[in-house]
Structure 1
Amino acid sequence: MTGSEHYDYVVIGGGSAGCVVAGRLTEEGTGSVLLLECGESGHEHPEVLSADGFKLAFANDATMWDRLSETQPHAGKRKIYAGTGTGLGGSGSVNGMVYTRGDRRDFAQWPAGWHWDDVAPSFDALEQRLEVSHRGPTDFTSAALAAAEKVGFARKDGLNDGDLCGFMGYNDMNFRGEQRRSSYTAYLFGREAKLERLTIRTNARAQRILFDNERRAIAVEYERDGELHTAGIGREVILCAGALETPKLLMLSGVGPREELARFDIPTVLEAPAVGANLQDHPSVCVFYRGNKPVDFHYPQVYGFDRMNPQLDLPEGQADTCFVLMSLGSVVKYTLRRMVPVMALPGGLYRSRFLRGALRALVELAFKLPYLTRFTQQVYGLVVILGKPVSRGRVRLRSRDVRDTAAIDLAYYADPTDMETLVAGVRHAARMAEQESLRDWGNQLLSKAVASDDRETLEKWVRAATITVFHFSGTCSTGETDDAPVDTRLRLRGVPNLRIADASVMPVVPVSALNAPSMMIGYRAAQFILDGE
């Protein structure tokens, strides 16, 4: 082990929230800050800085962390791809740049101090820095929005006023010209000279957090370039590794359910039964149609929200389903470059660069066929996303080796209510595609089961077609009561100087994308520290 370093603050995870935390603490001159990121620096992969680079970043092994879930008995008995972004900016450097705060009713489900009026000032401050805006119309998006209005949606652009249910329009996105405006580009990239007291270590994998006898975090062990380092903590450690990695690192450090730690002979530092529980995600399906000409948009720039299941225990006016327009031709090659090796090669074989490269070469070769290219360029999708799932999953350890991915049970459709909601959403999307403006564009249905009157046929298709939209959350939930592992100032209960600031603290997942709420959490975590709370 190398000699120890010492910092006032150690931030673990340079993703959407972590970049905000590290940047703000350093800007305000609160002390020395170490940011540990297990991935690479953003400038090594220019696609994470480009507004058009998200599809390239998704296909790049250096910017995506591959994982598969546990087998999902209610989703076709499949393992679901559960990868996330890695490198500075995290998933915020590889996503579609969708910037949606969520619905004010989402935050009404969070504890006191986290309601809409409490968090809106932090969103305002972020948006000044990020300079969010929405993209302009195209012929196809105009036709789709006309169809949406025919099935009951009202038109609204921006979608950040806190009232989402029943609206569809051009959503805000965090880009400026040709540049992606992630938390990394807004708070860290190109600002190193001004952030003199910030030390960034990339390719640095945190191994565990060390505690003293009073359960105070005193150091972080991390591995870099094959050597083990220790970073001492003067004031606080802020854990921003994401909803799948944060609970894993806590458990490896001795914080979590006692029986889970005992399975791997990890000494219990703090028994926290809810760490790793309450996992939520947004499962989705995409209903594909072929038009009679190429689709003319390339970003997830149109979103809609509505209530599909009136039986859910949600307030009036709360959307439970999200609808997104997708252009297949703009992303399909890069998606297949990522997914074909993951799904075709077992774990041991997947580690072979040669085999991964061979399968990706086959994908590239297939897209040299003129017919395939023409076909995919004419295909559009209506993505239906389950925005308010009832089911709850869990993250558990697979071993005590930090390099092993956690055992991730997404629990898709474990509660049958979720299937009811999503099926209703699929049928609503199908009605939208039947409207005159999309009939004129071309609406040849490719997902034939969607047109079936047989409920069992449709459900079977949903289970087989379900994928994630990468909105993992809830595994270290904040709350006002002692059974919540994190308090309302994001402090881990029972540890005086450890905060958690990422999507894992969300007690109930918002109906919208999570990038904006994750950055908001990072912003507020830094503010709590600055205010001495």
Structure 2
Amino acid sequence: MTQEFDYIVVGAGSAGCVLANRLTASGKHRVLLIEAGPDDNHLFINMPAAFTQAMTKGRFDWGYETEPEQHLNGRTAPCYRGRVMGGSSSINAMSFVRGHRADFDAWALEHGLEDWSYEKCLPYFKKLETFSGGANDYRGGSGTVNVTAPKLSSPLQSMFLAAAEQAGYPIAKDTNGEDQEGFGLNDQTIHKGRRVSAATAYIHPIRSRKNLRIEKEAMVDRVLFADGRTRGVEYRKNGQTKQAFCAKEVILSAGSINSPKLLVLSGIGPAKQLASLGIDVVVDSPEVGQNLHDHVDFSISHKANQPITVSPALRFPKKAIIGIEWILRKTGWGATNHFETVGYIRTNDELSQPNVQYVLVPLLAKPDGSSKARVHGFQVTAMLLRPRSRGTVTVQSTDSERPPAIHYNYLARTGDLDELRECVRKLRVILAQPSLDACRGPELSPGIEVQTDDEIDEFIRQNLKSTYHPCGTCRMGIDDASVVDAEGRVRGVSGLRVVDASIFPSVTSGNINAPTLMMAEKLVDKVLDGQ
């Protein structure tokens, strides 16, 4: 069974949805968008407060897990990746964070990617968004993605901002604007009480385009080549093996785990690995699957002395009442992710930009959304913005359904642990400020008895987790060793690109959905300019 198109986009995640929308806009190009997961029309996806259910219950996730992590006391960890229309933008926490301008300038200066400086990326950040605060020199007002500066739903959020100011940190007017550093509102991809995913923003409005075909619940097995040129893909759906061919390009937007996996299964990767799998070498590309890195986080939690937290939202009957209000009105505690305030700080004055993100959560919840304790309380999540440690994604089988081996190698570089330890001390100073005196109860985790470097380090090793921002496994660069060039074109073959977070040369300072959308908006122009 064969089909012919101009472009084939593999993966309907953040980047893939952008590409499918923009490539079909003129009506000139026939585009096939292939997604392994189902449609995104589900309560857990659309209701912002239910994101942990969408992420952790397995229905919309690939089910990946890391190998035992040596520096986390041998623990394994889930690696949540969206397997649904919208990809991870349909199951993430909806924090919209562009990153620091220095991140992109580093791509330009340190990696030689001159076209990826902040100045050249900013127009695409503005292009993609409609910001609730209105357009200005840094924000967009007529883009595809609705971005909301939240109204604070808990008094704890205001108290936290006041505590940060009392501790000597600036209050930022807009952490996605001129300067990221400081404490302020944490922008959300939420609009009128509903999640804004890449699917709702870029695909739902254009489903009727006759030159767009969407294949859901279809598993791509490999990219097809002939005479050094990309010809199409082979995929399975409903038990049938199909082939689709392209006149122009195949674009992999399968994400930082699956894009390198697909390259290897197609014969592009380290020659020794390909030989061990019995796969013919199309391109010997040693860095495919290398350079894996991710943000990591942990939480410090306190009991609250007043009943002003959102903790009742985790228990019946309040949980049911919240759900009913959201279904009927799209308002209330169900209409927010509860990550409404954020802070970006430097843990030492020698740093030129923030290296830690703090986010207040006005309840006590585990990563799967269940209650940590049947008391009023709150927690602050601390995330390391620019980790040094690097890992790998290694294909283990020619069966595309078998997960690759994912080894992040968290905390392998000692500097990561040093910065995380210092961010515990800095956060404790903020949480001890007078503005929180009226509601702050005892520290529940790690507990005030945890004070020495060794004690804090052990707490971190036992509690550190992924923030689910994998990137870098198909590194973009100007050097011959890089997997793709500055326009996402895979080296060694023609007609094949990778456009997703796997091509980040280094992670940006914050949640990576917004930079991924920007990257896709920018690279789709390169695709169309080449035609």
TM-score under structure 1 length normalisation: 0.88
Partner of 1:440: helix, strand, or coil? coil
1:61 aligns with 2:58: yes
Instruction: Provide, for residues 370-409 of structure 1, a one-character-per-residue CA deviation record: whole Å limited to 9, x for no partner.
Output: xx8742xx22111111110111111111222111111111
1:325 to 360, 382, 392: 360
* Partner in structure 2 of residue 155 of structure 1: 171
Q: Does structure 1 retain, via aligned residues, the 8 Å contact 2:301–2:446?
A: no
1:187 to 184, 199, 202: 202
Q: Does structure 1 retain, via aligned residues, the 8 Å contact 2:46–2:194?
A: yes
* Partner in structure 1 of residue 85 of structure 2: 88
1:307 aligns with 2:342: no
| AA at the equivalent of 2:157 | T
2:72 to 70, 75, 85: 75
CA 1:158–1:171 in structure 2 vs 1: closer, same or farther (change >3 Å)? farther
Task: Tell me the C-alpha RMSD between the 2 structures.
Answer: 1.8
Partner Cα distance (2:10, 2:348) in 1: 39
Partner Cα distance (1:16, 1:450) in 2: 41
| AA at the equivalent of 2:118 | W
Partner Cα distance (1:426, 1:62) in 2: 35
Shift of 1:158: 3.5
Partner Cα distance (2:462, 2:373) in 1: 25
Instruction: Provide, for residues 419-448 of structure 1, a one-character-per-residue CA deviation record: whole Å limited to 9, x for no partner.
Output: 001111111111111111222112321114
Partner of 1:206: helix, strand, or coil? strand
Partner Cα distance (2:349, 2:490) in 1: 36
2:217 to 172, 191, 203: 203
Q: Does structure 1 retain, via aligned residues, the 8 Å contact 2:55–2:80?
A: no
Partner of 1:18: helix, strand, or coil? helix
After superposition, residues 98-497 of structure 1 pair within 5 angstroms as 98-110=95-107, 111-127=113-129, 128-137=143-152, 138-165=154-181, 167-193=182-208, 195-214=209-228, 216-292=229-305, 293-296=307-310, 298-309=337-348, 316-329=351-364, 332=366, 334-336=368-370, 374-375=374-375, 378-449=376-447, 451-497=449-495
Partner Cα distance (1:299, 1:395) in 2: 32
Partner Cα distance (2:178, 2:116) in 1: 14
Shift of 1:85: 1.4
Partner Cα distance (1:96, 1:211) in 2: 38
Partner of 1:131: helix, strand, or coil? strand
Q: Does structure 1 retain, via aligned residues, the 8 Å contact 2:36–2:83?
A: yes
CA 1:395–1:59 in structure 2 vs 1: closer, same or farther (change >3 Å)? closer
Instruction: Provide, for residues 232-276 of structure 1, a one-character-per-residue CA deviation record: whole Å limited to 9, x for no partner.
Output: 111101100000111011001110111111121111100111111
Q: Does structure 1 retain, via aligned residues, the 8 Å contact 2:263–2:269?
A: yes
Q: Does structure 2 retain, via aligned residues, the 8 Å contact 1:140–1:295?
A: yes
Q: Does structure 2 retain, via aligned residues, the 8 Å contact 1:40–1:62?
A: no
Shift of 1:51: 3.2
Shift of 1:190: 4.1
Shift of 1:172: 1.4
Partner Cα distance (1:274, 1:448) in 2: 39
Partner Cα distance (1:162, 1:84) in 2: 31
CA 1:131–1:173 in structure 2 vs 1: closer, same or farther (change >3 Å)? same
Partner Cα distance (1:5, 1:410) in 2: 38
Q: Does structure 2 retain, via aligned residues, the 8 Å contact 1:133–1:158?
A: no
| AA at the equivalent of 1:206 | V
Q: Does structure 2 retain, via aligned residues, the 8 Å contact 1:41–1:202?
A: yes
| AA at the equivalent of 2:115 | G
Partner Cα distance (2:453, 2:509) in 1: 25
Instruction: Provide, for residues 166-186 of structure 1, a one-character-per-residue CA deviation record: whole Å limited to 9, x for no partner.
Output: x01112111111221211101
Shift of 1:332: 4.0
Partner Cα distance (2:76, 2:258) in 1: 18
Shift of 1:55: 2.9
Partner Cα distance (2:397, 2:430) in 1: 47
What stretches of structure 2 of length at least 5 have no aligned partner?
A: 108-112, 130-142, 311-332
CA 1:158–1:95 in structure 2 vs 1: closer, same or farther (change >3 Å)? farther
| AA at the equivalent of 1:196 | K
CA 1:272–1:102 in structure 2 vs 1: closer, same or farther (change >3 Å)? same
Partner Cα distance (1:233, 1:276) in 2: 26
Shift of 1:333: 8.6
Larger CA deviation: 153-162 vs 120-129: 153-162
Instruction: Provide, for residues 143-201 of structure 1, a one-character-per-residue CA deviation record: whole Å limited to 9, x for no partner.
Output: 01111112222112431125223x011121111112212111011114312x2210001
Q: Does structure 1 retain, via aligned residues, the 8 Å contact 2:9–2:32?
A: yes
CA 1:383–1:113 in structure 2 vs 1: closer, same or farther (change >3 Å)? same
Partner Cα distance (1:60, 1:68) in 2: 14
Q: Does structure 1 retain, via aligned residues, the 8 Å contact 2:476–2:488?
A: yes
Partner Cα distance (1:410, 1:248) in 2: 15
Q: Does structure 1 retain, via aligned residues, the 8 Å contact 2:21–2:206?
A: no
Partner Cα distance (1:226, 1:162) in 2: 52
CA 1:531–1:383 in structure 2 vs 1: closer, same or farther (change >3 Å)? same
TM-score under structure 2 length normalisation: 0.88
CA 1:52–1:449 in structure 2 vs 1: closer, same or farther (change >3 Å)? closer
Q: Does structure 2 retain, via aligned residues, the 8 Å contact 1:6–1:231?
A: yes
Q: Does structure 2 retain, via aligned residues, the 8 Å contact 1:283–1:469?
A: yes
Partner of 1:9: helix, strand, or coil? strand
Q: Does structure 2 retain, via aligned residues, the 8 Å contact 1:67–1:81?
A: yes
Q: Does structure 2 retain, via aligned residues, the 8 Å contact 1:12–1:206?
A: yes
Q: Does structure 2 retain, via aligned residues, the 8 Å contact 1:75–1:412?
A: yes
Partner of 1:432: helix, strand, or coil? helix
| AA at the equivalent of 2:352 | G
Partner Cα distance (1:107, 1:526) in 2: 18
Partner of 1:299: helix, strand, or coil? coil
| AA at the equivalent of 1:231 | A
* Partner in structure 2 of residue 354 of structure 1: none
Q: Does structure 2 retain, via aligned residues, the 8 Å contact 1:25–1:526?
A: yes
Partner of 1:300: helix, strand, or coil? coil
Partner Cα distance (1:68, 1:154) in 2: 38
What stretches of structure 1 of length at least 5 have no aligned partner?
A: 337-366
| AA at the equivalent of 1:305 | Y
Q: Does structure 2 retain, via aligned residues, the 8 Å contact 1:168–1:304?
A: yes
Partner of 1:490: helix, strand, or coil? coil
Partner Cα distance (1:247, 1:450) in 2: 44
